[in-house]
Amino acid sequence: MTMHTHPTSMPGTAGNDIKTLRALAPFLWNYRGRVILALGFLVLAKIANVGVPLVLKEIIDHLDIGSDTLLVLPLGLLLIYGGLKLASTLFNELRDAVFARVRHGAMRQVSLKVLEHLHRLSLRFHLERKTGGLSRDIDRGTRSVSSLMNYMVFSILPTLVEIAMIAGILLARYDVWFAVVTFVSVIVYITFTMYITEWRMKYRVAMNVSDSTANTQAVDSLLNYETVKYFGNEHYELQRYGNTLQSWESSAVKSQTSLSALNFGQATIIAAAVTLIMIMATQGVVDGTMTLGDLVLVNAFLLQLFIPLNFLGIIYSQLKHALTDMHLMFDVLDRTPEITDRPGATALDAGAGEIRFEQVSFAYEAERPILRDITFTVRPGQKVAIVGPSGAGKSTIARLLFRFYDIPAGRILINGQDISQVTQDSLRRAIGIVPQDTVLFNESLHYNIAYARPDATHEDIVQAARLANLHEFISTLPQGYDTIVGERGLKLSGGEKQRVAIARAILKDPRILVFDEATSSLDSRSEQLILDALREAATHHTSLVIAHRLSTIVDADRILVMEGGRIIESGTHTLLLEQGGVYAKLWALQQEEKLQLEATGEDKQVNPD
């Protein structure tokens, strides 16, 4: 489940907005010096901006009086007027320059924090997430960090500072009603804007949900391109995507039309306030209580006040949108990792690599137990194989060994240390794995093999590829080790991908090796070549092999046969055949299938299930 379909709380509420701003505060605190300096430049810019109409009033009054100093004093005032205009621009640009590092730096830190946290979240979260929707939520959220700070520092704060300054000047120099009308109109304007914007937010939230869902569907259909083609379901995928986009379009249209209503209401409030104040100012000039310069001053103040205030409504709406987008992203950061290092956790000393499971029970869901009272030991340097039908719990054992989940009962020990008491990083450094489903990065073969040890030399990588029976294949490629494998390794066959995974495990050279169906996608010839390499690579390692093909584990020191989450048989290949139990039946079945395949001249993988 992703947070965009089932958010922990409804975005757009005041409580969530405050929570989101509070979550952003630590990232801004890292740049507090720059923030304070930028705010200082902001205030200086507004002082210069408000000073312009005051100087303009003096110029008008001197021109109106017709003084003898007409050619001298107004020239000085005009120079001051130009200086203030230039100062306003200068301080605004300085504010922008100083704050640029804050905006982009905070955005970078938030992006890093989110990705770091996603990697810390449990396997359970990543198995349930929808990649397309999650990536869209994160993308909107990180971009909204920059947008939010833009709105706050470049629009909202300057306007509020200017409102306070203008209202103060009007209150000090003119009839109190000028300040009263200004304050009341601003309060009515802001109240109306906030109320209508809150009402409109449900359309924005619906847009976000539809947008994330549509992106999920598009990404899923592309990741499963071959499946879509196999079943000829292009039209079905387009229909799903189109239906979701139709919901997005409906919400987007409602959002836009309601914005028009908001804009008209704002314009009505501004027009009424401007008209009333200009009537009062004009009456003052007629009565002789105000000069022509005062009329120009009030008019200039109104222009300076209401023009940005008009945009403030749009900005507030965008601010709410940004907060909504950020709320979804910070929802991810609010998720507590299921697996964490215990206080005082120490680094694992893998030693000789002994593995011990003691009465381990586990279930992904409480009502469906997977493992029941599993106990076994893999001695240092031993090769122990686990076999059994699908759903018996074999691959779960590998996941628990890596501590992707914590177990409710029993213990798992490596070299006598409980893996729940050591750091996850040290635990996973000590174990190498060749998974059944190898997923590669959309990078070069060199990059994918070197991923096990990024500091490895090219010679080390070539040697690992040779041991994995991969070097000869790579040598036939035009770009060799620089060949890009495609998204999830789609340009390689299943066997080629598994050989990359085997090369990675060999390059990592860990104390413990886990092979989860490591040769399931290989033909018999490649399988035998790789088995020889694996035997050599595993000579000085403790090996745990999860297998379907029993022919690959006949040399195991011990074979565990699982069924229904329990170990029902244990022994060497020879001993288990002599017992005539489940293992012996599986062996007989696979040998019969192998003979049938040889008789027909086919060479396919055999699956005991």
Q: Quickly state the pLDDT bin for 113 (edges 50, 70, 90).
A: confident
Q: Quickly state the pLDDT bin for 606 (edges 50, 70, 90).
A: very low
Tell me the one-letter amino acid at 256. Answer: Q
Evaluate if residue 499 carries a pLDDT over 80: yes
Output the pLDDT for position 135.
Answer: 72
Output the pLDDT for position 121.
Answer: 80
* Segment of 59-63, 158-162, 238-242, 589-593 carrying the highest mean pLDDT: 238-242
Summarised one tens digit per residue, pLDDT across range 570-600 is 999 999 999 988 899 989 988 887 777 667 7
Output the pLDDT for position 572.
Answer: 92
- 8-state DSSP, 30: T
Evaluate if residue 323 carries a pLDDT over 60: yes
φ, ψ dihedrals at 289, nearest 5°: -85, -15
Evaluate if residue 493 carries a pLDDT over 90: no
Output the pLDDT for position 6.
Answer: 40
Output the pLDDT for position 605.
Answer: 44
Q: Quickly state the pLDDT bin for 22 (edges 50, 70, 90).
A: confident
Summarised one tens digit per residue, pLDDT across range 238-264 is 998 999 999 998 888 888 888 788 888
What per-residue string of b and e applies to 335-374 under the rule 16 or more CB within 10 Å gives b?
eeeebebeeebeebebeebbbbbeebebbeeeeeebbbeb
CATH fold of 14-334? ABC transporter transmembrane region fold (1.20.1560)
Nearest to 477 by CA among 491, 498, 461: 491
**Do 295 and 64 form a contact (C-beta atoms < 8 A)?**
no
Over range 27-44, report the average pLDDT: 85
Nearest to 470 by CA among 440, 443, 437, 492: 492
Evaluate if residue 67 carries a pLDDT over 60: no
- Considering the chain, tell me which residue range(s) the CATH 1.20.1560.10 domain(s) occupy: 14-334
Please tell me the least confidently modeled range out of 214-218, 334-338, 512-516, 558-562.
Answer: 334-338
Evaluate if residue 215 carries a pLDDT over 80: yes
Give Cα 229 to chain centroid, integer Å. 30
Evaluate if residue 176 carries a pLDDT over 80: yes
How high does pLDDT run on average in the chain? 81
Taking the whole predicted model, whether its pTM rises above 0.75 is answered as: no
Is residue 546 within a helix (H) or strand (E), and if so which, with residue range?
strand 542-546
Evaluate if residue 373 carries a pLDDT over 60: yes
φ, ψ dihedrals at 375, nearest 5°: -135, 125
More confident residue, 310 or 367: 367
Summarised one tens digit per residue, pLDDT across range 430-461 is 998 888 778 888 889 999 999 888 899 999 99
CATH fold of 355-600? Rossmann fold (3.40.50)
Over range 173-194, report the average pLDDT: 84
Give Cα 415 to chain centroid, integer Å. 37
- Considering the chain, tell me which residue range(s) the CATH 3.40.50.300 domain(s) occupy: 355-600
Percentage of the chain lying above the pLDDT 70 cut: 87
Summarised one tens digit per residue, pLDDT across range 278-302 is 888 888 888 888 888 888 888 777 7
Cα distances (Å, whole numbers) of residue 161 to 51, 158, 190, 298, 460: 13, 5, 15, 17, 64
Please name the residue that has the structure tokens 């690959």.
552
Q: Distance (Å, rounded) from C-alpha 106 to C-alpha 280?
A: 47
Output the pLDDT for position 355.
Answer: 93
